[in-house]
Amino acid sequence: MKELATIKQKVDSALERFMDEKVNNSTGFVKECMLKNKEFLLRGGKRLRPILCIKSYESICGAIDEYIVKKSIALEMLHVSTLIHDDIMDNDDLRRGKPSMHKMIGIPNAIIQGNILLSLAYSSLADEEMQLLNNTYLKVNYGQMLDMHYEEQKISEQEYLEMARLKTGELLGTAAELGVLIAKGTIENRQKLRQYAQNIAIGFQLHDDLMDLSKDMKKGNTLGSDIMHGKRTLMVVKALEKGLELPALGKMDATEAEIDESVKILLDNGIIKYCSDKAEEYINSAKKIVSDEFFLELADYMIKRKN
């Protein structure tokens, strides 16, 4: 999607300018912390949340301006703050192909870095916007709690989907709603785009789970990380329902052969296809809500991407 790349450049530039200002206004150790956060923020990433906010704003106002670009970066800073903390909880070594924050500076400092990014996210928002983001952050944390709580448990498909809605869907939903709110759109438009975004988010999460087990896709962390951590992805949920044993499940020192065997079991039992079809269901549901070409293409992108 060409437009994704164009808007991403605007978001990246806004993030860099914002962080440069924070770095330049800091001294000593605080300046070092700001530089670390700047590097982590600018490593890459798809910028889907700010982009969705910007395009939702444009759908009401008819144009993209500097005002909404500056507002939208709050979503990326909140998102990245959760990634820093997520990596600590999962003890992941890599984030976007580079060392995770806690591997660079230790767990205590990484926790603080995540907190700093969250505070910076709130700094550019008005009261109602901040309240929306704060409520979202609470729900994202509920989702993360469930993600950890469910490890080593047998859960249902519905429980997985609710966890995915909270952990992934809430922030993308808020990204779309925030754009409409800033544009002073109607409650109906806010709800409509929020529902669209939550559907594509669950499709995104299901596809992300599939990518974790694919050597052909570049997720940016260790192949099979989720299954080794015992994460209850929908694939694992369905495997446990069928009474299947996955050699790599919950085994942090799993060999490549054990990961490959786990993938083969999931393939042979139709579980990977089931999860892929489920992701497509959510994408198709989202596409019924909107007619704008960008939103339709974005929905398809969620399950066709390779990184």
pLDDT, residue 274, reads 97
Contact 248, 119 (CB under 8 A): no
Between vectors from CA 147 to CA 143 and to CA 153, what angle results, nearest 5°?
135
* C-alpha pair distances (Å), 198 with each of 192, 245, 250: 10, 32, 29
DSSP 98: E
* C-alpha pair distances (Å), 283 with each of 188, 195, 198, 199, 251: 21, 11, 10, 6, 32
H or E element: which one contains 94?
Answer: strand 94-95
Percent of the chain whose pLDDT exceeds 90:
88
pLDDT, residue 292, reads 95
**Bridge partners of 94?**
99
- The pLDDT tens digits of the residues spanning 248-303 come to 999 999 999 999 999 999 999 999 999 999 999 999 999 999 999 999 999 999 99
Does the pTM of the predicted model rise above 0.85?
yes
pLDDT, residue 167, reads 95
Dihedral of CA 289/290/296/302: which sign?
A: negative
| Both tokens assigned to 274 | 């089931």
Go through the domains of the chain in sequence order and give each one's CATH number.
2-298 (1.10.600.10)
**Distance (Å, whole) CA 124 – CA 121:** 7
Least confidently predicted of 21-30, 31-40, 156-165, 212-221: 212-221
Q: Is residue 37's pLDDT more than 60? A: yes
Contact 276, 289 (CB under 8 A): no
pLDDT, residue 289, reads 98
Contact 197, 176 (CB under 8 A): yes
Q: What is the CA radius of gyration of the chain?
A: 19
DSSP 86: H
